[in-house]
Structure 1
Amino acid sequence: MVDSSYYLMVATFMPLILSPVIYFLGKHKGVNITTWSTFGILAVSTILVIIPCIDLGSGGSYQEVFDWSQLGHFGLKLDGLSIPFAITIYLLSTIIVIYSKPYMVRKILIQFDQLKNSKSADSSTYNDIENDLYAAKDGNSLSTLMLTTDQKSYLNEQLGLYYSLYLVFAMGMLGTVLATNLFEFYVFFELMLVPSFFLIAFFGYGKRKRTSLMFFFWAHVGAVIMLLGLLAMGFLSGGFDFDEVKANVSQIPSPWIAVIVAALIIGFAVKLGAFLVHIWLPDSYTDAPTPITVLISSAMTGIGAYGLVRIWIDLLAGPGNYSDYAIYVNIWGLITMIYGGAMALMQKDIKRVLAYSSISSMGYLLFGIGSESILGISGAIFMYVSHALGKGLLFMMAGAIILQTGTRNMDKLGGLGGKMPYTAVFAMIGGLTIIGVPITSGFMSEWVLFNGALQNAVVDWSVLKTVSFALAISATILTSAYILWMYKRIFYGVVPETLKNVRDSSKYVLITMGILASLTLILGVYPDLLYKPIIGYVQNLYEETSDELKPIKITPGSSNALSNTTEANLGREQPGQINNVTSNTEIITMKKTHLISGNHLVSYVTI
């Protein structure tokens, strides 16, 4: 039994520590043991992340803090912002382990044949998408292949390498969204880049080495720009702990605020793949092995939105630090939505359609974050979850098509709805989630996001915000167009003669797709599972009066330098009172929060 003081610590570092073990198991024990061992590690880690969330309910926070160095404290924290990101990252990572098995077996065997035929260690010039040598057209052939000794040895070693890098990748993403220190945040942010680079370089398609280098270059440049902002925040506020920065934000000179905000927005926008800094994204999504594309698209890319909310809106909250720049982020998000949707309509490669679709979806997140409203930001956070489920399903559909047909070119597909009915149903649920149709989670995220954007436009009587809202709503038509057009070309029409014997994918693929489809429907019917903590968190960033929504004004000393657990809920205006926050009757809401420091568990009440 894990000590309650170390739930998050174990969940974060167990995959890293055991990654060499997984490589050893893969090399010496084979595919099945490696797959299920990796699954077990991430399943246990996921449970350890979920356990503290159960006690928190819709408020409070759970934090593990340890003495570190002159840079501050090393901490891992769950609250209304990190909970949806952390759970989504590890749930997806766990599920995709199983999905990876049949896909990566095929991928590695194709690479083995290429290496053997080319007599060269460099097979990066091969584009094996159209190679159907190992296409599982009967749904079962991959599990019944008779492999030579050389094939089996190569497969075992490469799959062990894949899963070991996979574990480090998942760990880096989780650590980023749990970090409580600027330097710690940057370390994890960069750490998730390294294994994803190698996963593309070793197991990707086409010119995978070139693509992985471009991916690394853009991601690292964005991270360095972000680092400049983080360093300025830390030095000018007198510390690197989030709580210390937040408490002393007023000490940062005004001219530096503009520089810091610009660095953060640009750095995180690169991670999101926003318009103008999206160059890395289409090729990376297309050339990466599909299970890794699922994780990059569904889990990693959206972490840029987490960074904007946590580092920019939360830590730098104060007069002018958010509201002066929000409209620019809002418009940038709108342009990204329209550009991504328009480009998706022009593609014939399934993964490339979904790559541009992801750019468009990240535009929704930016649009919500720049909306200057509780509902808009809450909807953007929930959009991360719904996008992860919907886009995850669609990329898994693309992988299933590749497994069964040996191609992802829609000109060579058609009529597969009757041949692959389960894949077609799950893909439709994923598509409806991205479009935002009831009763999927996508509808709930878009409803709240656009509600907040419209609310703010009406309250401010802003023509610019109203036009931006109208154009954003119109952009959803583009989303519907490219999703339905892609679906029609794949699953309707006449089945090509070469695909007459195609059948649905193996149980590994169908069960994992079914899990994601179930989750998006559950959250569509009962979104409060995540909306309660999300809205509770965002409300703490704002003060609400009867007339308007304004960014909260944080003064020095309003936050404890270590615990970050002070939460004050101001009461509603009573009859006869002046409509002023300072004259309202203060209602103290007691919420249980846990702080873990070193080896000691401290339970206390926040006020």
Structure 2
Amino acid sequence: MVVKKKMNDEFNLLPQSLIIPAIFSALILPLGKAYKQKAGWIVFLVLLYTTGIYGYITLSLFTGFIKDGVKASYAWAPYIGNLTLLADGLSAPIAFTIALLSALIAIYSIGYMAEAENIEVYYSLYLLYAVGMLGTVLTTNLVAFFLFFELMLIPSWALIAVWGTGPKEAIAFKYFMFTEAGALSLLAGILITRFQFGTFEIFDIASKIVPEMEKIAMISVALILLGLIVKMAIFPLHTWLPDAHAEAPTPISALLSPAMIGIGGYAAIRIIYTAFPMVAFNYNFIVATSVLALITMFYGASMALVQEDVKRLLAYSSISQMGYLLFGVASASILGLTGAALLYMSHGFAKAVLFMVSGIFIHQFHTRKISDLGGLAAEMPYTATATLISFLSLAGTPPLLGFWGELFIFAGAMHSSLINAVSQGLTRGVITMLAVIASIFTAGYGLKAFRRIFFGERKENLKITSEGPLTMLAPIIILAAFSLILGIYPTLISKELGAIFSQLIP
């Protein structure tokens, strides 16, 4: 594998993108008491700066102004190694997606959380949550990765337990225990990697693995992947997600599903294909992972079809979408991995829109039952249009970004299976064809829910209807526009993704 030299981060942009939100997570406590809901604008501006950093890097990579990425490395500890942050053609667009979602949902929170108590604590935890997600994506040191991985968990657990709905404490506890168990498996895999291969640095591990170590490498990958698929809510380790995402405060649901869970798929690509390539191309590993992904795709979509609660429908939809993402991870092809990264972004934009739309229903009509809704399209045209765009993107409809994600995943998996058909048989090809069929279910639950909510008979309890407040509607429209714009011109992202993965795929 050829590893190209990265540009040094002379202006410390990468640490700024983490340190500034972390500092404001403390400053927002007194500011939040003084400014109440208006403190959300401070959070937005902080995260907008972070978004600008990753937007600049992503665009500069596309134009060639920056070659191969931006890297910042700092001495940390002799045994652990350096704290290294990397924004390249893979991590930069993922970090941009997380930062953009976090910034826009901060605006959405101003309207949605208007009556919430202790709002300054909410925004403080919100900023720490964003820092955890961004740090997990940027770091290439496995110890730092684990620490940021844990930082994602603790604030999100508190946000559910304090500001959630229903039996929120029990749901938050279940969420914490599942994801912490996954984190312990991840930690075990990381420690075995260090003891056997002598480094925590992702880009140094592959060069230290000799053929005799392949079995121990498989054990390390199995433990690491187990931790990641718990975070992704892959069947059968998914049971925490429907409750947590349905009962979390809606702005946090709009980060849990679109941003956080997909980080497990990103990490699987970064860690397994970079550090353990011999495992990534192992036939048994590919088939086992593909089957898990296939089951998850069908299970999540079929459960979404029968939900009456719109937030639970979206939660099960997220499980299904993580199946698509894992299928791309298992494709062992440049196209498939590119599709997986694009699907992370398309799912992020679309699912954030849909959760925020569900929040408008809760805010306006005090219900999230689909049967209580109907005939809303005439009075809520902008909301209806954004909802349709997002459901169609999830279903892989052109010219939306989700189309390219799914197309690349399926094309990459089929191409990889066909070129290896002589030596490996047609099993992978059959699995891929079954996966394509799952996309029909995705279109089914999305269009069914859209028709019932925005068309059909007008319910008596919806006498007065209008679009949501501008602070809640504007983020929805912006993210729907991203799904359309990047769907029309996906090369803005896919060009550098292809360059990165061409270094990883022989």
Superposition TM-score tier, normalisation by shorter sequence: over 0.9
How far did 1:338 drift?
0.3
Residues 182 and 234 of structure 1 are in contact (CA less than 8 Å); yes or no, is this contact kept in structure 2? no
Q: Give the structure 2 partner of residue 134 of structure 1.
A: none
Quick check: 170-179 or 387-396, which moved more?
Answer: 387-396
- Return the match for 2:240 from 280, 285, 294: 280
1:222 aligns to 2:158 (yes or no): no
1:11 matches 2:20 = no
Structure 1 residues 540 and 394: CA distance shift in structure 2, 3 A: same
Select 2:60's aligned residue among 55, 63, 67. 55
- Residue 239 (structure 2) pairs with residue 239 (structure 1): no
2:493 partner amino acid: L
> Which of residues 267, 271, 279 is equivalent to 1:307?
267
Determine whether 1:507 maps to 2:470: yes
1:322 shift after superposition: 4.3
Between the aligned residues of both structures, percent identity stands at 39
Per-residue deviation at 1:54?
A: 3.6
Q: Give the equivalent residue in structure 2 for 1:449.
A: 409
Change (3 A) 1:7 1:301: same
In structure 2, relative to structure 1, the CA distance for the partners of 1:319 and 1:347 (3 Å cut) is closer
Q: Choose 42-51 or 278-287, whichever is displaced more.
A: 42-51
After the TM superposition, which parts of structure 1 deviate over 6 Å for at least 4 consecutive aligned residues?
none
In structure 2, what is the equivalent of residue 341 of structure 1? 301
Conserved in 2, the CA contact under 8 Å of 1:378 and 1:535?
yes
Distance 1:246 1:261 in 2: 12
Shift of 1:356: 0.4
Aligned counterpart, 2:109: 100
Select 1:259's aligned residue among 189, 201, 219. 219
Q: Deviations over 1:213-245 (max 9, x none)?
A: 111111110011011111111121111122332
Tell me how many residue pairs correspond in the alignment: 491
TM-score, L = length of structure 2: 0.94
1:542 aligned residue: 505
Farther off after superposition, 456-465 or 175-184 = 456-465
Cross-structure match for 1:573: none
**Structure 1 counterpart of 2:74, which letter?**
F
Which structure carries more helix by proportion?
A: 2
Task: Specify which structure has the bigger relative contact order, considering alpha-carbon pairs within 8 angstroms and separated by 6 or more residues.
Answer: 1
Does structure 1 retain, via aligned residues, the 8 Å contact 2:102–2:255? yes
- Residues 26-72 of structure 1 deviation map (CA, whole Å, 9 limit, x = unaligned): 1122221x011111111112222333334333651210000000210
Q: Which has the larger radius of gyration?
A: 1
1:393 and 2:353 correspond: yes
Residue in structure 1 matched with residue 342 of structure 2 by the alignment: 382
- 3-state DSSP class of the match of 2:11? helix
Match of 1:82 in 2: 91
| Contact persistence 2:273–2:280 (CA under 8 A) | no
Cα distance, 1:542 vs structure 2: 1.4
Secondary structure, in 3 states, of the residue corresponding to 1:5? coil
Partner of 2:77: 69
User: CA offsets, 1:299-353, max 9 Å, x none?
Assistant: 0000000111111121111377644411211111011000000111111000000
User: RMSD of the TM alignment (CA)?
Assistant: 1.5
Structure-2 change in CA distance of 1:181 and 1:91 (3 Å): same
Task: Give the equivalent residue in structure 1 for 2:157.
Answer: 197
Residues 1:526 and 1:240: Cα distance change in structure 2 (over 3 Å) = same
Q: Residue in 2 aligned with 1:26?
A: 32
**Distance in 1 separating the partners of 2:420 and 2:257:** 35
- Aligned residue number for residue 548 of structure 1: none
Identify the residue that residue 140 of structure 2 maps to in structure 1. 180
Distance 1:52 1:283 in 2: 36
For 1:137-216, what aligned pairs fall within 5 Å after superposition?
155=117, 158-216=118-176
| Shift in Å, 1:252 | 7.2
Counterpart Cα distance in 2 of 1:194 and 1:365: 25
Task: Indicate conservation of the 8 Å contact 2:234/2:293, yes or no.
Answer: yes
Distance (Å, rounded) in 1 between the aligned partners of 2:213 and 2:280: 12
**CA–CA separation in structure 2 for the residues paired with 1:204 and 1:337:** 27
Check whether the contact 1:312–1:322 (CA below 8 A) recurs between aligned residues: no
